[in-house]
Structures are given as C-alpha cells and as structure tokens.
C-alpha cells in the first residue's frame, strides 16, 4: 500500500488559481519563475503541465522578458468589444449582489443566479445579455460559481451527527 497523498482541504484548485489571478505581482512572479526555469535549461514542454499553459505561451513569456524585461511579463490590455455596462453599473450590480436579495426586486427567490441577474440587468439598464456573458460579467466583478447545498431547518443536528459517526465506523 502506497503513502497517503497530501490534499488541500477547504479550497478547490480553481479557487487557488483565482488567488493567483487576483494580484498582478503573483502573475508576474509565476511567469518570471517559468523564465528562470527555462534559463536553467528546463524544457518548455515539461513546464506546460506545471504552469497549466501551453509551451508556446511559456516561449512567449521568455521572448517578451528578453525584449522588455519585467514589463514584458505584465498582461497586455485585452482586445475585444467594450462592455455595454459601465464600470459604475458593474459596481452597482456588485453592491446589489452582496447586500440585497432578489426578492427585494420582485423575484420569487432568495438567491441570485445567472438567469435572474440577466433579467434584472435587462429591466434596470435595458441591456440584454446571453447566459454565458452573464457569468463572464460575474467573474469580472469578482464572483465565482457557488453550488448551493440544501439545509433543512427541520433536521435534527444531533441525529445527523450520530448517523455520521455510525456511518464512519461501518466503513
């Protein structure tokens, strides 16, 4: 029987990755360390899995670092169609999601989700989005997908704890 593998509890891999993406300094540091490993002779193909990116992206980091130094490792502004929501509107939506319930706006639920937010934006700002774009906006303003877990107020916590202990002993 092999050794037990160390696991991280309380955080998913996506949550940990999002921590890297929150601070520009972490992202630059990660890229700089990849460049450092290449300078020590490490093959970019071997670094692909470690950095969860393509070998070509690692090559790009190396070339940009050689040409521009640390500033070459900073993310460039993304091209694409500008958002139809202004930054003030996004800030307002963020505040609403954090402090208000959909039921306060006439929706028949206590939690926000993509379709309800789509309808709220359409009614409040006259902007119609598709479901995929709503989740991009949520990510942009700092929210992540959270799967709800049912909790039943009528459940007896003592009986639940006893059942868990009994179940663990039988396994």
pLDDT of residue 171: 65
* Residues across the chain: 171
| Percentages of the chain per state (helix, strand, coil), in multiples of 5 | 60, 0, 40
Distance CA 167, CA 78 (A): 52
Distance separating alpha carbons of residues 50 and 82, to the nearest angstrom: 33
Question: 124-134 in b/e burial notation, b at 16+ Cβ within 10 A?
Answer: eeeeebeeeeb
Domain range summary for the chain, segments of one domain joined by +: 13-73, 87-140
Per residue of the chain (171 residues), give pLDDT as tens: 678 888 888 888 878 877 777 788 888 998 999 999 999 999 989 998 888 889 899 999 999 999 999 899 988 877 788 889 998 999 999 999 999 999 999 998 888 888 999 999 999 999 999 988 998 899 888 887 777 777 777 778 888 888 888 877 776
């Amino acid at each position: 029987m092999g050794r037990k593998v160390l696991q991280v509890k309380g955080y998913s891999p996506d949550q940990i990755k999002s921590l890297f993406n929150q601070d520009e300094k972490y992202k630059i540091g990660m890229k700089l360390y990849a460049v450092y490993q290449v300078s020590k002779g490490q093959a970019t193909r071997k670094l692909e899995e470690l950095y969860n990116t393509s070998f070509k992206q690692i090559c790009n980091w190396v070339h940009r670092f050689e040409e521009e130094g640390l500033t070459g490792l900073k993310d460039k502004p993304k091209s694409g169609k500008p958002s139809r929501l202004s930054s003030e509107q996004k800030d307002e939506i963020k505040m609403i999601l954090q402090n208000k319930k959909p039921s306060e706006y006439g929706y028949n639920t206590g939690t926000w989700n993509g379709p309800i937010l789509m309808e709220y934006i359409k009614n409040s700002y006259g902007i119609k989005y598709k479901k995929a774009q709503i989740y991009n906006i949520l990510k942009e303003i700092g929210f992540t997908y959270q799967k709800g877990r049912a909790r039943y107020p009528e459940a007896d916590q003592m009986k639940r704890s006893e059942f868990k202990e009994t179940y663990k002993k039988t396994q």
